[in-house]
Amino acid sequence: MTRRELVALIGGAAAWPLAARAQQPTAPVVGYLDAGTPDTGANLVAAFRKGLGETGYVEGRNVAIEYRFSYNEPARRQELVSDLISRRVSVIMVNGTGTALIVKAATSTIPIVFRGGSDPVSDGLVVSFNRPGGNVTGVTNVGGELGAKRLGLLHELIPAASRFALLVQPNTTFAQSAIMNTKVAATAIGQQLEVLSASTNREIDAAFERLVQMRADALVVSPAILFENRRVQLATLAAYTRVPAIYAGRENAVAGGLMSYGSRLTEEFRQAGIYTGRILKGERPADLPVLQPTEFDFVINMQTARTLGITVPPSLRALATEVIE
């Protein structure tokens, strides 16, 4: 072998790794769209990543995630959806029925995994639970239907309460089912229920002002994306006005709320992560049945109870899946 041939061989060998890397397929990109903020959704993002990991996808290794948060500003949602679509992401995971409908209207080709809502068929997201059809599937959560259960838990905690209020985010399917179910429960125990609405941070403040005016004994907070993302504000206002309140998500109780009862949010996001991974592997959203919650949490924050001067009966503590001391 001549010297020239040897140099050529070495040079060619050195180029092999570069050529091999150039031929490696690029990692798929997942769009993650949330109506809240990165801070309030950190544990849910972690749960979503966990689900992705269970299907073999690890962020930064073999999948990239483009995060978009609208910071509770509905007007920004369309812009964020358009941005993700322009980046040609492989899948879009979206938190919230309203935002999911915007994504569905914007693309019929990019797979969509939603989390939220209780009836995606009525909402127009899917054709049916078992065979969603189209490019959309996801994970629902049981929300407004549990209004009666939440009122019952409050009534057991405060038997003398006679003036109840329900806080809803209007123009959502959760709101309508929550109003209907909670009113039925209030009538069953011979109590009146006043419905309060809030669609913005300021309207939440105004709702608590109304609670003080009506001298409410207790408050049921209906599930809503806004209330998930304003849990510190809600807990602070409830403490300031000294109104015992029960919420839908465990995260509300952790943030200082008195009690919560509802489906497990982290499990819903984990399942959304698993579905996203399965779609990346080639499965079609149309063939993945819409999942419904099977795990529920009843959480009592004993520190908040003591601050409000409330004694939690042993029977109620025994029902709790978690007691925060």
CATH number of the domain to which 234 belongs: 3.40.50.2300
Q: What is the mean pLDDT of residues 46-60?
A: 98
Domain membership flag for residue 233: yes
Q: Are residues 209 and 269 in the same domain?
A: no
Pair (277, 202) in one structural domain: no
Q: What is the pLDDT of residues 15-28, one digit of tens each?
A: 434 444 444 468 99
Q: What domain range is 205 assigned to?
A: 144-262+297-324
| Domain identity same for 193 and 270 | no
164-184: b (≥16 Cβ within 10 Å) or e: bbbbbbeebbbbebbbebbbe
- Report whether pLDDT(306) > 50: yes
My answer on whether 240 and 280 are in the same domain is no
Is residue 225 assigned to a domain? Answer: yes
List pLDDT tens digits, range 165-184: 999 999 877 788 889 999 99
In a domain, 8, yes or no: no
- Phi and psi at 69, nearest 5°, equal -125, 135
Same domain, 240 and 306: yes
Tally of domains within the chain: 2
Q: Which of 29-43, 114-128, 231-245 has the highest mean pLDDT?
A: 231-245
Does residue 143 carry a pLDDT above 80? Answer: no
Residue 19 domain flag: no
Q: Which of residues 295 and 121 earns the better pLDDT score?
A: 121
| Residues 36, 132 share a domain | yes
Do the bridges between strand 296-301 and strand 259-263 make them parallel or antiparallel, or are there none, so unpaired? antiparallel
Specify whether 120 is located in the same domain as 235: no
Residue 150 and residue 65 in one domain: no
Is 167 a member of any domain?
yes
> Looking at the predicted structure, is the pLDDT value of residue 187 above 50?
yes
Instruction: Please give the structure tokens belonging to residue 13.
Output: 């060998």
Whether residues 190 and 45 share a domain: the answer is no
| pTM, two decimal places | 0.86
Pair (187, 290) in one structural domain: no
Give the confidence band of 312 by pLDDT, cuts at 50, 70, 90. Answer: very high
Same domain, 155 and 241: yes
Residues 216-252: tens digit of each pLDDT = 999 999 988 889 889 999 999 999 999 999 999 999 9
pLDDT-above-90 percentage for the chain: 77
Q: Indicate if the pLDDT at residue 109 is higher than 70.
A: yes
Angle between helices 173-188 and 147-157 (to 10 degrees): 40
Do 65 and 161 share a structural domain?
Answer: no
| 101, part of any domain | yes
Mean pLDDT on 124-153: 92
When pLDDT is cut at 50, 70 and 90, the band that residue 94 belongs to is very high
